[in-house]
Structure 1
Amino acid sequence: MIIKQKTQIILALITFSIFLCLTIGLVSQALWFEQLNSIGQHLIQQRSPLADMILINITQLGSVTFIGLSTLILIIFLSYKKAYPALQFLLVNIFLYAGLTTQITKRIIRNPRPMPQLLPEHGFSFPSGHTMVAILFYGTLIVLTKRYVSKSWLQLTAITIFTLLLFVIPISRIYVNVHYPTDIIAALSLGYSLLTLSKYLFLTGDSYDTIN
């Protein structure tokens, strides 16, 4: 367990370093930064009517409305179960990290979005808000599922679905051209490091009672 915890901490430090490197690359207008965006967009933006339909719908699974309603349901459920450490974990990840931290970072860096967009979006680009929500919301669900769901088949099914969404939603943001690939990588990196931080703040030492 100690080795696993150290590995997670090291990985969180690495991902935060990646976020810092990308931020420096953006601010300094580094050539490698522009090339990374160009390559990523070329790989992902292979448009077709079927892909348009699928990815436009998938991107809504990271929207404020969907995540807001889902978070409200989880708040009620965790409060009813008196799973207060898990509730604190959820609230900090969604409202402080995915919400406030993302918006502050966007307004400090003030990077414009790419054009033209397949879906209309406003505001600044770096880091991706949908991606921060995806890794912090679905990442929270993965952590809570591992800790509190006892049935192995249910745990495996839930974690598989959440993991797929965690990666497909960010890809959809590049596809509809509302974010650059570097926005996505930065958000995944920052989101993971914050998720790891809140996990150790609120769930270390918490009992592994199951929620059925």
Structure 2
Amino acid sequence: MGSTGGVKKFLDYGAKIDRTYSTRIGSRKHGRKHSVVYLHIAIDHGHLELVKLLIAHKANIARVGMDRRRALHFAKDLDMVRTLLAAGAREHINALGGSGGSHPPLDAMVNANVSLEVVRLVLDNGAAPYNPRSFMNPVIAAMMHERADVVDLLVQYGGKAIKGFRPLSAIGVALHVPDPVLNTKFARLCLLQNPTSFYDVTVALHSQVGLSWKDSGDS
């Protein structure tokens, strides 16, 4: 998108700030066309000054872009999230977009392995800590990134591991996370949130990742 100074000149000459352009993902025959929003590109690349410039020139913070994602879906650092929230993005903090149109911004942020401060900020601004529409909800994503701090924070705000717990799902997560302490934390969380599944959970996890009945319990 060029330098901030160069973009400012275009804007001063009346360039249309909310214009989108289409890009094709995949082959010409089988690929899909997506609308790309200039503001979203700047956010995705972490260009904070350019984002501030676009917002100052009345860029539409609510604009829906590729895969129905909005501005916050692309934000990864604390200053960027603060800037977007101050510009009005809080109204869309749980807007769904991304793969399958089922992910709010918090899902995208945790999947991008953002800082604990970013997660706390969006939770404090009303982000839902649990997404029942997708298996890869924030707690699962934090587990995959071995972020015990994020798992703990999400649970404090009401985050859940797996709705209607399925032992095979836990095994899939556990096999991707080599940290035994984090695996035990996950097992305990699953058991606390799905107490009727105690037998299935403990047997499944014990057989796959070596957790004992005592380790998997709530002690």
Q: Between Structure 1 and Structure 2, which shows a larger proportion of strand residues?
A: 2
TM-score by length of 1: 0.20
TM-score by length of 2: 0.20
Work out which of the two has the higher radius of gyration on C-alpha atoms and give 1 or 2: 2
Q: Between Structure 1 and Structure 2, which shows a larger proportion of helix residues?
A: 1
